[in-house]
Amino acid sequence: MERVDMDLPQLITNQTHVSMKIAHHVASSESTPKNSVSSPLSLHAILGLIAAGSSGSTRDELTLVLGSNSIDDVNKLFSEIVPLLFADGSKSGGPKLSFANGVWVDQSLPFKPEFKRVVQDLYKAVSSQVDFLTNAAEVASEVNSWAEKQTSGLIKDLLPSESVDETTKLIFANALYFKGAWNKAFNPSRTKEDDFHLLDGTSVKVPYMRSYEDQFIKTWDDFKVLRLPYKQGEDKRQFSMYFLLPNEKDGLLALSEKVAFEPGFLDEHLPVWEVEVGDFRVPRFKISFGFEASNILRGLGINLAFSGGGLTEMVESPEGKNLGVSSIFHKAFIEVNEEGTEAAAASVGVVSFCSLRIVEKVDFVADHPFMYLIREDTTGVVLFVGHVVNPREN
């Protein structure tokens, strides 16, 4: 049966669905829920590059998990979305944004022409030929320095020590940075400490930002959604942060599961109108979070890329048939305060051998674990997603 290429809105919808599933798997993989932040879009970029260099069942598996019908769909998402979405808007009063890809390949393995075209033209990746055999530690340090620079110093030591050795043949890296100011900044003099209820039944004192201005809030049977827009530049892009707050103090994972596995959940449940607020409190928080993504991606259905043998479209060498993904590392950072949000993420893949408007006042008190995300509203692309279980912990 002939595959039909998807249009960009459908690809974005599918990518968002994949993003929510990744976020839920990250949260549920922890034995004890923790504060988290990740950029599934950054991971998506790494997996897209790996898919472009794969063939057969390995490529089919990757494109399916990425919510696409073909590798052309995967490539289209990034070749069209990156210039549309990630132009820096800070000079015209909007958010500061950057999105960068990098590829490090062993000097003994020249790229195949088509893969080189995808890397350079579609993903706009900076590529470097390196010597893993004798300089593995230096290459790892170079990748870490690149990620730190691309994220304004927020992501450090992306590659753990000894994650790169003489068997490494390729490294793919992505870095994403966002800094936006609230459209309605919070008055720091109104920030006061109050109780935040933890999942174990105890509570801690945390600083809450407060406001008496109208807010975008939508109330549902078992949760509420808050939208805090960022200042807009001179283009049409509109970035917002969303807080998804379960009614139950221990309802975070159940809500996360709904968002992850009900297609179209986000678009159907986001607030459209501003309402008058009663008690309005949102905690300040700062989170650094990192993980090795292989097991999470296997849980989503990506297995063949890790077993080797399917990454045959990357390099012009008989060794290409022995390439396999050995690990995928991801780190992210977010800080939310009275002025706005600063967030960054980086991913690296190491390839080795082997309805009606509410008119009454609405309360929104985020005093127990909740989910949040940063989204560009005109396209629906989700940049960051995470959970806050204790604002006191970094």
Q: Report d(CA 101, CA 350) in Å as an integer.
A: 14
Residue 34 in domain: yes
Same-domain pairing of 265 and 136? no
Q: Report d(CA 128, CA 126) in Å as an integer.
A: 7
Residue 175 in domain: yes
Backbone torsions φ then ψ of 332, nearest 5 degrees: -145, 160
Same-domain pairing of 22 and 47? yes
What per-residue confidence (pLDDT) applies to 4? 52
Residue 257 in domain: yes
Same-domain pairing of 39 and 164? yes
Q: Report d(CA 197, CA 389) in Å as an integer.
A: 9
What per-residue confidence (pLDDT) applies to 353? 57
Residue 211 in domain: yes
Same-domain pairing of 263 and 326? no
Residue that has been written with the tokens 């034995």 in this structure: 31
Alpha-carbon radius of gyration of the chain: 21
Instruction: Give yes or no for a contact between 323 and 353, defined as CB atoms under 8 angstroms apart.
Output: yes
User: What CATH number is given to the structural domain containing 175?
Assistant: 3.30.497.10
Closest CA to 229 of 162, 194, 182, 196: 182
Strand partners, 207: 193
Per-10-residue mean pLDDT, the chain, length 394: 67 88 83 86 90 92 91 88 85 90 89 91 89 91 93 91 86 92 95 96 96 95 96 91 96 93 89 94 94 87 85 82 84 94 86 54 95 94 94 85
Q: Report d(CA 161, CA 203) in Å as an integer.
A: 37
Residue that has been written with the tokens 């890809």 in this structure: 101
Same-domain pairing of 114 and 46? yes
Residue 3 in domain: no
User: What CATH number is given to the structural domain containing 210?
Assistant: 2.30.39.10
Backbone torsions φ then ψ of 72, nearest 5 degrees: -60, -35
Same-domain pairing of 137 and 81? yes
Same-domain pairing of 83 and 44? yes
Residue 394 in domain: no
Q: Report d(CA 33, CA 215) in Å as an integer.
A: 29
Same-domain pairing of 190 and 79? no
Q: Which residues span the domain enclosing 90?
A: 8-180+286-353
Same-domain pairing of 35 and 170? yes
What per-residue confidence (pLDDT) applies to 370? 97
Residue 1 in domain: no
CA 358 to chain centre: 32
What per-residue confidence (pLDDT) applies to 3? 52
Instruction: Give yes or no for a contact between 66 and 149, defined as CB atoms under 8 angstroms apart.
Output: no
Number of domains within the chain = 2
Instruction: Give yes or no for a contact between 140 and 165, defined as CB atoms under 8 angstroms apart.
Output: no
CA 254 to chain centre: 20
Helices (H), 119-186: 132-150
Tell me which amino acid residue 300 is. L
Residue 103 in domain: yes
Helices (H), 53-130: 56-65, 71-85, 113-117
Three-class DSSP category at 146: helix
How buried is 165 (Cβ within 10 angstroms: 0-12 exposed, 13-18 middle, 19+ buried)?
Answer: middle
Tell me which amino acid residue 264 is. G
Tokens at 384, concatenated: 């960051």
Closest CA to 105 of 53, 149, 162: 53
Q: Report d(CA 350, CA 135) in Å as an integer.
A: 15
- Size of the chain in residues: 394
Tokens at 242, concatenated: 């969303």
Going by their DSSP bridges, the two strands 96-106 and 168-181 should be labelled as antiparallel
